[in-house]
Chains A and B, each alone.
Chain A
Amino acid sequence: MADTPEEIQKHLKLYWKVGYALLFCTVLTVGVTYIPVIGDNIWLGLGIASFKASLVAVIFMHLGTEKPLILKVLVYTVFFAIGMVFLTLLALYDPIISPYNR
C-alpha cells in the first residue's frame, strides 16, 4: 500500500466499512436461522461465513494486493486442505463393517 497520509486515511475508511459489513453479516447469519425453511439451510450459513472470511482475507489480510509468491503458497495450501476434507469424507462411503453387526 502507498504510505502517503491521504492513502492511509483512505484505507482507514475502507477498513471501517469492511468492519461494518462483517458485523452486518454476523447479524444476518443469526437472523436467517429464525426464518423457517431458509433458516435450516446449512449451506446458507456457510455461504455467509465464507463471504465474511473472504472479506477478512482479501481486505484485512491484504490478499487482494499481495505478492504472487504468497498467493502461490496459499493456492497449494487450499488445494491440499480441500483434498484432505474430501479424503476424510470418502471414509463415510467405505465404512468398516463389524462382523458382529452384519
Chain B
Amino acid sequence: MEIPFTVKPRPDTGLWNAKVGIWLFLASEVMLFGGLFSGYLFLRLGAGGEPDYFWPKDILSVPFGFVNTLILILSSVFVVVAWLQLKLRQFRKFQLWMYVVVACAFIFLINKGFEYRSKFIHYGIKLSDNSIVEGYKLDDTIIYEGIKDVTIDVARFNGQFLELIQWNIPKFFLLGSDGKPQGEAFDLSVDKVQEIEAKKNAKLKEKHEKSNQNKLAENSEADVIRWLPAMGIKQLSLVAEKEFSIKIKRKKLRKSFTDSVKFKDQTLLKGTISKLTPGVSIALVDRIDLRATDSENPELTSLVWKYLGNDSPLKDYSAKSETIKEGDQAEINFNKDYNKSADISDEHDPKAEAAKAKAIFLGAREEVLTIAKEKGKEAEFDKVLRHLVKKWESKDGTKKESHSPILVPWDEVKLYSNFTPKWNTFYAVYFTLTGLHGLHVFLGAIVLLWFALFGKKLYDKDPEHLANRVEVGGLFWHFVDLVWIFLFPILYLM
C-alpha cells in the first residue's frame, strides 16, 4: 500500500505528511530548549542574590564563538541553496552544497571541541576564605604513610587500595574482638575477603540456628527468626604485617582526613598524610579572584598571598634525595613525569614569581581605581578584585609576566576542579546547553550527509519527494541555527 501525501499535499490542510511531522517535532524542541533557557534565566538572575558567587563574564573566547556563529549562519544559507538546486533538478550541485553544509557542521564541532578542551585543562581552587585561584597543571596527588589498620566493607570491597600500595604489598592479619591479630597472615584480595566472609557467615548461621533450636526445644511455639543474609558480617578489621603507604589522586577518594582515608568502596585506612603532599598545587597561576573573600582587606590579607609561590614538594623530591632506596624508585619515576608536565615553572624562582603576580594584581587594581577616579565614577566591583596575573601591561607601558605556582594545604581547600559543571553553575549551564546543541548539530549533519550520499535513488524515482525530505532536514538545521543565535550572546557576550 502506498502512503498518501508524501509528495503531494493533503487538500484540506495543504501540507504533506513530513512537514506536519517536522513542525510538531520542532514544537517539542522549542519546549525542550525553552525549559533550558528558562533554567538559565532563573539561575542567572538568582545568582545576583548569592553573596559568594558571581556570574562569570568574559570567560569564553568571543572570537571563537563569533566564528562558530558565522559558520552556522552560512551553513543555514547553504542548506536552502542546496534545496533550491534540487528544485532546479541539479542533483550534482545539490550534493556539492550539502557537502559544504556538512563540512561547516564538522568545523563547528571541532571548534567546540577545542573550546571544551581548554576548559578541561584549566583549573580553579577555592580556598577556605572564598578566595579563588585559577591556573594550569593541577596536582592533587596525596600520599598516606604509616598505614597498618584497615577496615573493609565486605559487600563493597573492590581491592582498589591494594593497587595503590607503594612497593611491596604486605600480608594482613584479621583483628580479633580483643584488638589483637588472629591466625596466620594472608595475601589480601577480593577472593580472600569473600572466602573469609563465607566462613564467618557459616559460623554465625550455625550459631543462629542452634539458638533457634534451643528456643524451640524450650517452647515449641516460640517465635524464631530464620537466618537472613543481612545478619552476616558487614565489616572486617585487618592489620598489616608492616606499615605501608599509598599514593592516589585526591579526587578518586571518597573522603580524606588528616589521620585516615576512605575509598569509594568504603575501605578505611588509618595513616598520616606525607609531608611530600601537604596540599593541592597549581603549577601556573593565571588568575586571582578575591571578590567573595571574607577578609576585610582582601588585596593584602587574603589566604592566596600566604600560599602563592609555594611549590609542590613532590616536584623537588627526586632532586634532593641523594641515596635512592629500593622503594623510592616509583616515587622518582613519578616525579620525572611531574616535572615534565609542569616544566613551565622549572626555570623560575617560585617566590620571586609570586611577588610578581602580586605586583601585577595590585597594579591592575590600582589602575582600575585611578581610571574610575578620573572619570568621577565608582570602580566596577568585578574589575577591582579579579585580575589575570600571568601577563600584564600597564598604561605606562610596563610589561610584567609571572609564572607563579601555588600550594594550598588540604585543610584550606574548599573546592577544586577543572572548569566543568562541578566548578560552578555557569559551567553546568554552559555544558548542558552547548552539549545538547552540539548533539543536534552532529545528528543534523548525519541526516543531511545521508541525503547527499544516498539520495540519488529517490531523486531518480521522484525528485520532488527528495526535495521534500531535504526541506524537512533543512527546517531542523535552521532550528539548530536559531538556537545558536540565542546561545551565542547569552553565553559569550553577556
Contact = CB atoms under 8 A, between A and B. Distances in A.
**Does A associate with B in a complex?**
yes
SS of A interface (majority): helix
Given A19-B73, A74-B27, A57 B482 contact: yes
Contact of B80 (A60, A69, A81, A85): A60
B397 interface: no
B13 A67 contact: yes
Contact of B486 (A22, A53, A77): A53
B77 A26 contact: no
Given A5-B88, A15-B84, A85-B41, A92 B46 contact: yes
B41 A88 contact: yes
B19 interface: yes
B399 to A, nearest CB: 24
Contacts of A49: 485-486, 488-489
A56 B481 contact: yes
Contacts of B186: none
Nearest to A42: B494
Contacts of A23: 70, 73-74
Nearest to A39: B493
Interface string B5-40: 000000001110001100110010011001101110
Contact of A84 (B38, B45, B77, B493): B38
A8 B69 contact: no
Nearest to A46: B489
B69 A26 contact: yes
Nearest to A14: B80
A52 to B, nearest CB: 5
B77 A15 contact: yes
Categorize the interface residue count of chain B: 35 or more
Given A69-B20, A84-B38, A92-B45, A18 B77 contact: yes
A35 interface: no
B155 interface: no
B188 interface: no
Nearest to A22: B73
A92 B39 CA distance: 11
A30 interface: yes
A8 B88 contact: yes
Contacts of A11: 84
A52 B34 CA distance: 17
B42 A91 contact: yes
B312 interface: no
B213 to A, nearest CB: 54
Given A15-B81, A57-B482, A85-B37, 4 more contacts: A26-B73, A45-B493, A81-B34, A91-B42
List of 6 A-B pairs having minimum Cβ-Cβ separation, nearest first? A19-B77, A81-B34, A85-B38, A77-B27, A88-B38, A45-B489
17 contacts: A15-B80, A16-B81, A26-B73, A29-B488, A29-B493, A30-B493, A45-B489, A49-B488, A53-B482, A57-B482, A60-B80, A60-B478, A70-B19, A81-B31, A85-B38, A89-B41, A92-B45
Interface of A: 3, 5, 8, 11-12, 15-16, 18-19, 22-23, 26, 29-30, 33, 42, 45-46, 48-49, 52-53, 56-57, 60-61, 67, 69-70, 73-74, 76-78, 80-81, 84-85, 88-89, 91-92
